[in-house]
Structure 1
Amino acid sequence: MTKTDADVIAETIAQIVDGVRSDRAAPELDGGFDAELWLVLASSGMTAVGVDDALGGSGGLAQDAVAVVRALARAAAHAPVAEHAMAASWLLESVRREMPSQERPLAIVTGPDLRFDPTTRLLSGSADSVPWADAASGLVVVARAEHGSWVCLIEAAAAEIVPGTNLAGESRCAVVLDVAVEAGDAAPLDAGQPEEVQARLALIRATQIAAVVDETLRRTLRYCDERAQFGRTLNNFQSTRDALAELAGEAAVVSALADRALGDLTTDRERFPVTVAAAKIRASLAARRTARLAHQLHGAIGFTREHPLRLLTTRLWAWSNEAGNEREWSQWLGRHLVSQERLWTTLVGGRVFAPDR
């Protein structure tokens, strides 16, 4: 069977992560930024895959960037390549801004309270739960102006950053801004770009969830094949088989929807927000169902701090509520379909993925 580019990227990422971790005396039990891993990834060009090489990226397609994101999610790695490459760097690329140094990541900052005045060049406001802001060298901020929205690049040191974490221990910070932006570091966004940023963040989380659901399934299958109770392995019990079948179904569905949304990102920009909404709705549901089933099958050992299952399921619980949970995206999808007068054709014709032209 011929290997795809995504397969090669996944294998490379796995080798890099294993190589970095093999030199450590103790396993990683928290979600803090892994500076050593980031530098190795950056030196190999993996932190800028999918970004125009003319602007300091590594080139490649969005599918290649997603292959990196999936591999790092499977490994429960503490390196924010997803937000750095697929959101922050993409925004800078869209306004033809050259990428800064890759020695530390860029953090993407969004929120309704962020404002930019093009006349005074003052960027102000605050945002909560900003991924990896305390690990970043720069902040890529999407802010509203009197007319439209702008993207601004500032030094992370210029902002007030209050560290915090999500359930998985990953960095989620409060950011307060009151800074003058340098000339050349702010640019107006096209209409629809701020909404695409939110859709991309949802795609990132749906993609990560899909990868971790699949990895959780793989680990649970292996555990049930090895663990014995009452003289036989767990996978010989019908109730275990039923749970494993449900896990496999969750993995297949969320992966298919995430792949569909990724395809629309590059081939059908009009349909992309709709398929992203469907992917994130289903991914958030799958995350909680997967965590529940996996812990039921592993028993008490899966809840221990040292067991690798915890690194996966805490991410599933955290990511299910990030970049919009299923309720928020369901409401958005309903409003969108009604506003486009497509609700009836969608309900009777299954046209969520083929809107009228």
Structure 2
Amino acid sequence: MRELFESTMERLLADHVTPELVNSCEAGQWPQALWSLLEESGFAVAAAPEALGGAGASWEDLYPVVRACGRHTLPLPLPETLLANALLGHCGLEARNEPLGIAARSTLKLEGSRVSGTLHDVPWGRNVHHAVAIVGDANPVLVVLPRSRATCTERANVAGEPRDELHFDAVAPVASAGLPQGLSGEALWLGGAMLRSAQAAGALEAILQMSTTYAGERVQFGKPLASFQAIQHQLAVMAQHTGCVAVAAEAAFAEAGNSTELNAWAIAAAKVCAAEGTGVAAGMAHAVHGAIGFTHEHALQQATRRLWGWRSEFGNLSHWAQRLGRAVCAGGSTSLWPAVTANRLDLTLGEIA
């Protein structure tokens, strides 16, 4: 299933996602034709169980799909929709073959059968049909809220991707369910961080390929850029970070499998690697390309601006590094090596910021 997903998604995005399309989406266009193709392909509901309208794909199967979304800078909330439908399936709710929004940060309160409050940083909040959120601390409930009943405050990240605020005032969810055992109230936060690490892995692969190609073609002082030792060093460092992020992100997806429990330790490690790798590799990619990489028409800046935006979403480098540090300290010296080898450590310490 994984190989089929990977080849189909790569072909679909390579054929339809162009720098011109990405620029038009940054200007406010919603690419309905492309979303319709994704719906027809079944990718939007792939993570949901077959009995609830999905394909029953595991996160390990879906890793190359999310990575491809990052590599091609897909201007649509497909990764978020995958996560939303996976959570709906874990809660016994029907999958929705439509653009779905998720929000890990909110001020939502459940008052009887109605929900009030604000969802923050909802990817493509202005365009989604419904938003999925978790309400309550002691007894968390997953709710599906109609976008049509929300007041939208439009915002965007550094890449121009919509990150809107949706405010609900005494709105009845179209569906709701208590979280099953094993599904954390932090599921959207953890899942979002896992998605961004895979998207970063894909975008880093893209900028490494662009930089390698450009360095081999561009001639300076009578020689290709790639023949200069300084450029070779930068490309080698970029490759190291790209490989590290890819391995860490794939490990987080593999540890999640298709269970309800996401592996916070693996996700934290992947998010830290992605944030560090972005900081180094994006700067080097622009150094290799020079001024041309910053131009509006060039694909490099589309990838690097998304990398800079994604590294701070669902927890930045400091957030995840501090949570890892607190968990290691709380576990004591004897817990560190078993945590590294078993890929598990309690990361429930600390609040989401």
TM-score when scaled to structure 2?
A: 0.89
Is the Cα contact below 8 Å between 1:196 and 1:273 reproduced in 2? no
Matched, 1:115 2:118: no
2:68 aligned residue:
71
Distance in structure 1 (CA, Å) of the matches to 2:206 and 2:180: 38
**Partner-residue secondary structure (3-state), 2:107:** coil
Is the Cα contact below 8 Å between 2:90 and 2:260 reproduced in 1? no
Match of 2:214 among 219, 223, 227: 223
Shift of 1:306: 0.4
Deviations 1:107-129 (A, max 9, x none): 11232522113xx2121111321
Distance in structure 2 (CA, Å) of the matches to 1:270 and 1:303: 41
Code of the aligned partner of 1:44: S
1:131 aligned residue:
123
Matched, 1:28 2:22: yes
1:89 aligned residue:
85
CA RMSD of aligned residues (A): 2.3
Is the Cα contact below 8 Å between 2:116 and 2:167 reproduced in 1? yes
2:334 aligned residue:
345
1:13 aligned residue:
9
Distance in structure 1 (CA, Å) of the matches to 2:159 and 2:259: 34
Match of 2:95 among 95, 99, 111: 99
Is the Cα contact below 8 Å between 1:50 and 1:64 reproduced in 2? no
Code of the aligned partner of 2:139: G
Is the Cα contact below 8 Å between 1:254 and 1:282 reproduced in 2? yes
Match of 2:44 among 47, 61, 72: 47
Shift of 1:196: 2.7
Deviations 1:70-120 (A, max 9, x none): 1121111112110001x21112111111123x2x30111232522113xx2
TM-score when scaled to structure 1?
A: 0.88
Residues 233/350 of structure 1: CA separation in 2 closer, same or farther (3 Å cut): farther
Q: Mean alpha-carbon deviation: is it higher for 160-169 or for 227-236?
A: 160-169
Matched, 1:275 2:266: yes
Shift of 1:345: 2.8
1:188 aligned residue:
178
Shift of 1:163: 1.4
> What percentage of aligned pairs have identical amino acids?
29
Q: Gaps spanning 5+ residues in structure 1: where? A: none
Residues 243/129 of structure 1: CA separation in 2 closer, same or farther (3 Å cut): same
Shift of 1:267: 8.3
Match of 2:319 among 312, 318, 328: 328
Is the Cα contact below 8 Å between 2:155 and 2:162 reproduced in 1? yes
Q: Gaps spanning 5+ residues in structure 2: where? A: 347-353
Distance in structure 1 (CA, Å) of the matches to 2:207 and 2:276: 15
Structure 1 segments (4+ residues) deviating >3 Å: 5-8, 18-22, 30-33, 267-271
Residues 44/111 of structure 1: CA separation in 2 closer, same or farther (3 Å cut): same
Is the Cα contact below 8 Å between 1:152 and 1:181 reproduced in 2? no
Count matched residues: 341
**Partner-residue secondary structure (3-state), 2:126:** helix
Distance in structure 1 (CA, Å) of the matches to 2:69 and 2:345: 37
Shift of 1:159: 1.2
Distance in structure 1 (CA, Å) of the matches to 2:260 and 2:95: 24
1:203 aligned residue:
194
